[in-house]
Structure 1
Amino acid sequence: MAIRTIVKHPDELLEKSCAKVTVFDKELAVLLDDMYETMIEADGVGIAAPQVGVSARVAIVDFGEGQDPIEMINPELVLFEGADTDIEGCLSFPGIFGEVERPDHVKIKAQERDGSWYELEAEGYEARAILHEMDHLDGVLFTSKITKYISQEELDEILKAQEEEEPV
């Protein structure tokens, strides 16, 4: 496994629709493993193939907390409902944060690294992260959906207030 360089905006690759994965081989497994290592090294929650320079419909989200990472190959949105606005950031846009409205509940269909299909439902923060990564596969950047930019100082204050609210 290797840490790959994260592609930063304004690289054109980030704004292009990615190619469907048709070959499920060792090369794909290496890509997934490298993406995971790169995401962890960058302290991210999700990463998509174009963010490591590969135009393929491959993304990963990882919520930690003892859960396995979710590998999404050729993901398709089956259902979305509700709406929620929250703050997002992106590994390809260091230091940029903003409020983005997204569906609060999603159901997706995607393939595993062996090509088998699975379905997954997610809500809240998990749904947001999945949709953010799926957008990358279509060349859609979160900055195009921001309704209000948040400065690093504002974000730090929000996070500090949330920590103070949590019971110990």
Structure 2
Amino acid sequence: MILRRAAVAGAIVSLFLGAGSAAAATSYESDACNSTADKYCFSIHFNSRGGQTWYSESPCFLSNRSIPDYFGYSPNQAALVRYVFRAGQIDGDYNTCRLGGDGEGQGVKNEAASATNAECGATHRVYFSSGYLGPSQAFSPKCGDYWPGENLISDLKNDNGSAKRI
């Protein structure tokens, strides 16, 4: 009887300890835009736009919906989806978001320097904090055109927490 209780107690302890050490699955998403060929998306970039080119070639994150927290989200409380920058996501002759290197695979939250809005009818507003709080900057729609990009204002550069589609 004592051995059975010890075995049951040991099983319970290992169950709890094992559950605590199991890591949640993490995946990475760089494209939250459902536009065909990503032609009409809001893009936020790791680097600033070029002084002469007016766009950023650096890796970007694409969306055409509100993002309440640029860190990511948990769809089922067991897994984590992290938002990251990736290059080469926009099909066509666009020069934006095409080069890898600095920022490739980097988390989006508090790491962005510029953005552009190629949606047709929605403005995107980038906020300092998650949950659409703090200083913000609006990006007007350019309907399929990723040029020109805009650098984030100093309050938001590398301090971006969320973005709201208005």
| TM-score tier (shorter) | under 0.3
More helix by share: 1
Q: State TM-score, norm by structure 1.
A: 0.26
Q: State TM-score, norm by structure 2.
A: 0.27
Which structure has the greater CA radius of gyration?
2
